[in-house]
Structure 1
């Protein structure tokens, strides 16, 4: 059927929030059309059966008193079904309105399904070059009156005029047909983002950065294919992706050449910028170390403590139980005193439930110098458990290689170097690396990589390195 003969229903919905799921409707307006001809209009306030937040009232003007005598959704559901029957569902940012309405129908055990059409997508295709495709900015740009903004009827009336313009601009209906059939996924763009920014994204490994109108970073992600991963956010149906896409004005990216550095760079940037839509890596996690120092008796004392507690640390753990377990093993292997390894004991250190090998330094039955000699051996053994090495990775171009530097078991940073360069020791790598701070997440990233790939790309300090 010709796109000018199709039945359309242009819809705008006001809700108790701005999520795609979990919202309740407060108002709906539907304009039924055949082609560009208006046939009928339906409009009603809806009692959401929950309190309307103050910020929504400030935005829309709809408060709890206004909806107190309005019908609940179940009372108007039949009217909405009949009004939208046989119609293509049209809205500005259609996924939001459509999913809110579908969820309302699900609450009354009805499966609401209609073909969808988005005026944001159509506008990007038929009216390119607009700075912003939000309804307000778009209407200003093409001289469409928008009266009573953020009320269902006002926004619907403006969307109808926009839709009529779009219908007449697509003379053969090819664009409409493409979007109705859902064959143009790349059209699902954030309304404020210029298409050219997406077109410049590479199809390689790296980090992408979403920014809001004020260039503030709101999300940081990593990808094996930056362009493909960014696009996946744009047609995701989750509330988080929808809300985030409404705030994206700019996209930056950093090419890393490999996934491992992309993961490490992502973690570093999240810690630095604390983006609003990143959740997983924002919460700091404590790191623990096996510490050593000389106590007032001149005896080398071991303990497990937080990383920032002491300057003289040996090994870092991101799980306190693992640190305690390693210290217990150290105490047993080198016949150390449980008391001077900071384990709780009674007057007799042999009262420890597991460790029984103390040679009596705590009872002055062993010379402190002899005890400290074994303690030093224990410290050396810890260092030997954490070798220095690099992990070799592909570079950003065919002419370079990438390496991640690990010293004493601790992530130091990464760098890029000419692929034909010869490195004779890890100290030679120091001049090329970009220094980074290790944390729980970088530790987990390195551990996961080694668990997955083993030592196929690992080069230890004692070997000459040819990157």
Structure 2
């Protein structure tokens, strides 16, 4: 649990500042579960430059509660939380100083979104809150007011959690939070997970990730893990001490995250998925007559694949569909090996490439049109689908045929700005497994839309 906050002060000498406004959002890693904001009477004048910056003046604070009047609420809403702030050292120092004046020891572990952003989103032009969130397409209203800044920090922290593919934030959080080190009952773990699509992470007592999985219903999948009696499940049940999760909104991103993060984190119980996800691929050759032939082969990283398949039967079924939809010859796609003419030619559904009656150029034009349409090798496109919340969408970026990564954006924000688009994308590896996942998913499932981009639009 996190307490994401922002504090405005009077300014002045070090450790003599007073709080003029505070906003706190209690955040469970996925949504805000409680919030508090208030002006505060600092019982001292505000520096003129601060008045100009925040718009908060002495008159506004005349009847505001003093710090001791809001202290109990601050303690309650931050109980059991790690403090998160943009420049957390400053906010923590201010709060600690105010509680010291009341004779109360207030200690919190902290996470700083400035430091996290520098690590997870390098090379940004500025890491000040206002400039950073604008660069990332995060809405910000009431800049230099506690509630507006804290709300923007929530959105920023949520993005940072998604970009943290090595799970360092979560692992560190589990280590810092003693309440998470208690051995919970498995039923309690299940109770605190959603019946939604996403990726889940099982942690041992030290917070280390020991298993990563994905599901369209996380709660249901965990129930299966914890009720199975096979050897692997029993070992996981004994070792798991906590489960964290990330909602993805759709299965495609869940599949991509699972594949990437298993390779990156190498959890001890994910040995199976470290291997390649496909066994067969579709390739093309030109025969002695000049016709382009399509053929199914066993997966071979040395050969260029048009697309890949999980197994031979899936490949064959897909190739039948490709042949029919593009009016290709079954003999030239390897689906018919009897006689000179293919079966479709006898029923007048093939134009005769199998017996040399269709011009090579005409036949190859249809094959080439299929290749350009079917493969994203040289394409620039966005795959848009459902997000984690109603007002959100997910986006996957393919640039020059290379999978660049995924991200999430608010429906109220446009992503046609190349810089914003690139900044919200969580960079991912463009390996053959990722390409297989995307192509296989698009063959079987519908997404909200795909958007073709010009190469210049995303440079």
TM-score, with structure 1 as normaliser: 0.40
Greater Cα radius of gyration, structure 1 or 2: 1
TM-score, with structure 2 as normaliser: 0.40
